[in-house]
Structure formats: C-alpha cells, structure tokens
C-alpha cells in the first residue's frame, strides 16, 4: 500500500508542462547499482554515479517526480531546523562544522549542476533573513552567530533598526546569511535524470518493487509484474517511503503545509527577495519563485494520519496567508496553490545513511530534515564514494550509529 504523501493543488508540475516520460521495466535486467526511488535523493545519486564506470539503474513506482519532490519548497540552505549551536552540543564542534561545510559544498554543487543542465532548474542565489521570534530566539541567534563567525561562514547580526530599514516589520534581532538559494525541485529532478541518461543511466518509472533476496554477493529485487533486477549494490532513496523498506528508529514523520500565491508585481518591500524564516518551532518560512510568486510554508504539526492532515489544509492555508500579511501588509496575495504533505525528520537533527545486516551491500539514504534536497546531495556523494572507493571521510557522521 502506498504512503499517502500529500494532498492539495500542486504548483511545481504546472511549471514543466511537457514533462519527460520514462519506460516501464518489462525485462529481467542486471546492473552494478540499483537506485530505488527517482525523486530528489535518487536523482542526485544517479547524477553522482553517472560519472563512474558503473552500470546504474533507477526505478520508481510512480511517475518520476510525483512523490515528495512535487511538494518540496526547495529553500537551498546550509543551516537547518536543528541550529548549529545545538548540533555542537549534540555531536561536538568538529562534527557540527563538518556537517555544515558539507551542506555548503552540496549547495555549491547543486548550483553548478543546475546551471550546466539542459533543463532550466531556476536556481537563484538568495540571502536569508533568520529572525528571532521571541526573547529566547534572540539568545539562540547570538549563539548561532558565534559559531558561524568563528568558522568563516559569511553572516551578520542585524539589530531591530537595521531590520526595519530593510523590511516593513520589526524584530528584535535577525541573523542575515549570504549566498543561500532557491530552485524548482521538479525541473531539477527531471534535469538531473536527463543528463544521467545521456551518460548511460537507465531510468524506469511506474515500476514497483515488491520483493527481494540476497545470494552470492548479489541483490535480486523483484517488481510486481514479475521481473527481476540483479545488482551488486542497492541504494534505497525512496524518501519518506524508505521507512517502509526498513523501520529506522531515528526517523520520524510529521505534517507540513504550504501555499503558493498569485504572481506579485512589486517586491520593493522585500529586501533582496531573501529567504525568510524564524527561530520559533514550528516556524513559518517563505521564498519567491522565478515567476514572482511567493511560497509560504510551515505550521507543522505531529499528525501522521493523512485524513487528519488533509482536514487541516484549508485552515492552514488561511493561517499562512495571515502570517505573511503580518510581515508584508502592502503585498497583496491570495493562494493559487496549496498543500499538506508528510515531512520527515530525525530525532537528533542530522540526516542519515542506513546500513543493515539484513540488507547487505545496500545503502538507505534518509535525507530527512528541512534541507532535504541539500542533505540528499551531500549523502549521495558520500554513498558514491562508499561504493567506488570503499569509504568517505564523513561517513561515520551520518551512519545510524553516529560513531
């Protein structure tokens, strides 16, 4: 049974009307690496592996890009839901900074890849305004700034006066970071696969995996139509549905909501069209799009029942617009698209690579968290090196054991 990932009226698929199609697997095949999942995580794995000499196959049970990728709001940032100073407290300063630098590196590679593809993924560099929601948030941002400045990340602390000079709202303090980004995740997904196919990667959609076995250092995965795929290595990059292959105690699902507005003519009140979010948890966040719409998201809640999540979409849609109007009363918007979707995170705040005894030579890519697209990019590169070189310097940071 499929996980009911999301509901609503989706925006991203409308931006790419002539969406590529991919064949359905209708033969028994062999490969070096099988990637299960053709969304953001799987496509980035295919991208990195396409530059090796390995024979790579991607399968997805849906049409490519119609899982969580179609509702990803795609704020491209190196700071995440669990703040940097909190990661320092949990994992130590060296590990926390390594993770942050790997995310920054992944962002740079996403930009480079997006600009080299045939498909325009609409990548644009944007700065970020991260404002304090309350007094506790002020102290958190000061701690955050301390580690960013110490380790050479470009950031400023803005006072209430400096914020009000740039924006039509007042906040006591904000962290201003430079050179984050935004893109169109749906077009990026298809663009990555298009380039990978040019290099020999085979991609199959509407191809559902229904069983597997392991023998003689080989994995054999079976489709629900009776075909087999033999592989030396397998990457399960199935997004939140990876938990259906293997329960992972560090993974958790919640629900999140977003609206996409009408196009806006005038952004003069919105300094540099920055990405915006806040220290409250759950938080509100917002960004703009290439066609001048605004994506407003957040208001996460703990429900994991699709019916309960979907019953709240209309209320959350109205509430998100209301929260936006508090910040930008002169920008008149209404929701043209809206959604409720499952959102995955981890209990300790880092994404993870799962390796399990019962799945030999298999890697589970759990790029869970608010920066899932960036996390998936970082983990895809690590998994590539684990397959081709036997290791990667950062692998222990993301192993489920957190060594």
Indicate if 312 and 356 belong to the same structural domain.
no
Q: What is the mean pLDDT of residues 323-340?
A: 95
pLDDT reported for residue 307: 81
Same-domain pairing of 323 and 391: no
**How many other CB atoms are found less than 10 A from the CB of residue 211?**
10
Q: And the tokens for 207?
A: 């191809």
Least confident of 48-57, 338-347, 384-393, 394-403: 338-347
Alpha-carbon span 166 to 376, nearest angstrom: 33
Question: Between the CA of residue 208 and those of 28, 40, 274, 341, what are the distances in Å?
Answer: 14, 18, 40, 22
Inside any domain, residue 102: no
171 and 55 within one domain: no
Residue 199's nearest CA partner among 388, 32, 42, 48 is 48
Quick check: is 114 in a domain?
no
Give the model's confidence band at 314: pLDDT under 50 very low, under 70 low, under 90 confident, else very high. confident
Whether residue 107 lies inside any domain: the answer is: no
Q: Return the percentage of the chain with pLDDT > 90, whole number.
A: 77
Looking up residue 274, the CATH number of its domain turns out to be 3.30.9.10
Residue 5 pLDDT: 64
The verdict on residue 63 lying in a domain is yes
Alpha-carbon distances of 58 from 29, 92, 245, rounded to whole Å: 12, 36, 16
Which has the minimum average pLDDT: 34-48, 107-121, 178-192, 294-308? 294-308
> By mean pLDDT, which of 61-70, 168-177, 340-349 is the weakest?
340-349
Q: How confident is the model at residue 403, as a pLDDT?
A: 45
Predicted confidence at residue 239, as pLDDT, reads 65
Q: What's the pLDDT at 216?
A: 86
334 and 265 in a common domain:
yes
- pLDDT tens by residue, 368-383: 778 889 999 999 999 9
Q: How confident is the model at residue 402 (pLDDT cuts 50, 70, 90)?
A: low
| Domain residue limits at 335 | 125-180+251-346
Rg (CA), the chain: 21
User: At 238, which CATH number?
Assistant: 3.50.50.60
For the chain, the domain total comes to 2
**Pair (54, 170) in one structural domain:** no
CA 237 – CA 376 distance, rounded (Å): 9
Domain end (from 331, 346, 361)? 346
Q: What is the mean pLDDT of residues 16-35?
A: 97
Cβ–Cβ < 8 Å for 25, 223: yes
What local confidence, expressed as pLDDT, does residue 240 receive?
A: 56
Closest Cα to residue 115, out of 196, 197, 186, 192?
192
What does the alpha-carbon distance between residue 319 and residue 296 come to, in Å, rounded to a whole number?
A: 10
Gap between the Cα atoms of 245 and 242, Å rounded = 5
Domain end residue (candidates: 329, 346, 363): 346
Q: Within this chain, do residues 134 and 175 fall inside the same structural domain, yes or no?
A: yes
How many C-beta atoms surround the C-beta of residue 397 within 10 A?
Answer: 22
259 token code pair? 């609206």
Banded pLDDT at 299 (limits 50, 70, 90): confident
Tens of pLDDT, residues 259-292 = 999 999 999 999 999 999 999 988 899 999 999 9
Average the pLDDT over 38-49 and give the result: 97
The more confidently predicted of residues 344 and 292 is 292
Please check whether residues 169 and 202 belong to one and the same domain: no
pLDDT at 32 over 70: yes
**Lowest-confidence region among 36-50, 166-180, 347-361:** 347-361
3-class SS letters over the chain = CCCCCEEEECCHHHHCCCCCCCCCCCCCEEEEEEEECCCHHHHHHHHHHCCCCCCEEEECCCCCCCCHHHHCCCEECCCCCCCHHHHHHHHCHHHHHHHHHHHHHHHHHHHHHHHHCCCCCCCEEEEEEEECCCHHHHHHHHHHHHHHHHCCCCEEEEEHHHHHHHCCCCCCEEEEEEEEEECCHHHHHHHHHHHHHHCCCEEECCCCEEEEEEECCEEEEEECCCCEEEEEEEEECCHHHHHHHCCCCCEEEEEEEEEEECCCCCCCCCHHHCEEEECCCCCEEEEECCCCCEEEEEEEECCCCHHHHHHCHHHHHHHHHHHHHHHCCCCCCCEEEEEEEEEEEECCCCCEEEEECCEEEEEEEECCCCCHHHHHHHHHHHHHHHHHCCCCCCHHHHECCCC
172/273 same-domain check: yes
Written as six digits, the tokens of 106 are: 């992944």
CA angle 342, 67, 224 (to 5 degrees): 115
One domain, residues 195 and 160: no
Query: Is 218 part of a structural domain of the chain?
Result: yes
Q: Does a structural domain hold residue 379?
A: yes
For position 156, what pLDDT does the model report? Answer: 98
Q: Looking at the structure, do residues 287 and 330 belong to the same domain, yes or no?
A: yes
Q: For position 346, what pLDDT does the model report?
A: 77
User: Is there a single domain that holds both residue 377 and residue 324?
Assistant: no
pLDDT at 301 over 90: no
pLDDT of residue 394: 93
Residue 87 lies in a domain: no
Closest to 143 measured CA to CA, from 175, 171, 172, 170: 175
Mean pLDDT of the chain: 92
Confidence of residue 212 (pLDDT cuts 50, 70, 90): very high
pLDDT at residue 137 above 70?
yes
> What is the model's pLDDT at position 36?
97
Residue 199 has pLDDT above 70, yes or no: yes
* 79 located within any domain: no
Residues 275 and 167 in one domain: yes
Q: What is the pTM of this model?
A: 0.94
């Amino acid at each position: 049974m499929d996980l009911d990932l999301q509901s609503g009226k989706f925006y991203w698929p409308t931006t790419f009307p002539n969406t590529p199609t991919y064949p359905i697997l209708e033969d028994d095949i062999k490969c070096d690496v099988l990637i299960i999942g053709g969304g953001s995580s799987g496509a980035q794995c295919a991208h990195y592996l396409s530059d090796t000499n390995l024979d790579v196959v991607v399968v997805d049970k849906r049409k490519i890009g119609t899982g969580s990728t179609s509702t990803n709001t795609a704020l491209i940032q190196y700071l995440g839901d669990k703040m940097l100073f909190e990661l320092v407290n949990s994992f130590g300063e060296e590990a926390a900074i390594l993770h942050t630098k790997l995310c920054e590196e992944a962002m740079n590679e996403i930009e480079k890849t997006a600009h080299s593809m045939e498909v325009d993924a609409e990548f644009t560099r944007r700065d970020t305004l991260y404002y304090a929601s309350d007094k506790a948030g002020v102290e958190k941002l000061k701690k955050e700034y301390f580690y960013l400045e110490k380790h050479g990340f470009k950031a400023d602390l803005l006072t209430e006066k400096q914020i009000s000079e740039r924006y039509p709202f007042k906040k006591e303090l904000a962290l201003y970071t430079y050179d984050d980004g935004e893109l169109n995740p749906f077009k990026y997904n298809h663009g990555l696969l298009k380039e990978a196919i040019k290099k020999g990667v085979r991609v199959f959609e509407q191809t559902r995996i229904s069983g597997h076995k392991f023998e003689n250092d080989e994995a054999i995965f079976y489709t629900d139509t009776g075909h087999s795929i033999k592989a030396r290595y397998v990457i399960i990059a199935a997004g939140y549905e990876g938990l259906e292959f293997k329960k992972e105690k560090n993974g958790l699902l919640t629900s999140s909501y977003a609206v996409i507005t009408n196009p806006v003519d005038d952004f003069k009140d919105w300094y540099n069209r920055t990405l915006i979010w806040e220290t409250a948890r759950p938080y509100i966040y917002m960004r703009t799009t290439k066609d001048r719409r605004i994506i407003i998201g957040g208001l996460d809640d703990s429900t994991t029942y699709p019916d309960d999540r979907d019953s709240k979409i209309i209320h959350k849609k109205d509430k998100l617009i209301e929260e936006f109007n508090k910040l930008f009363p002169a920008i008149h918007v209404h929701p043209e698209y809206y959604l409720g979707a499952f959102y995955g995170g981890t209990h300790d705040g880092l994404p993870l690579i799962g390796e399990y005894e019962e799945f030999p030579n298999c890697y589970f890519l759990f790029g869970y968290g608010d920066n899932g697209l960036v996390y998936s990019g970082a983990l895809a590169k690590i998994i590539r090196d684990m397959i081709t070189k036997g290791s990667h310097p950062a692998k222990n940071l993301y192993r489920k054991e957190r060594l």
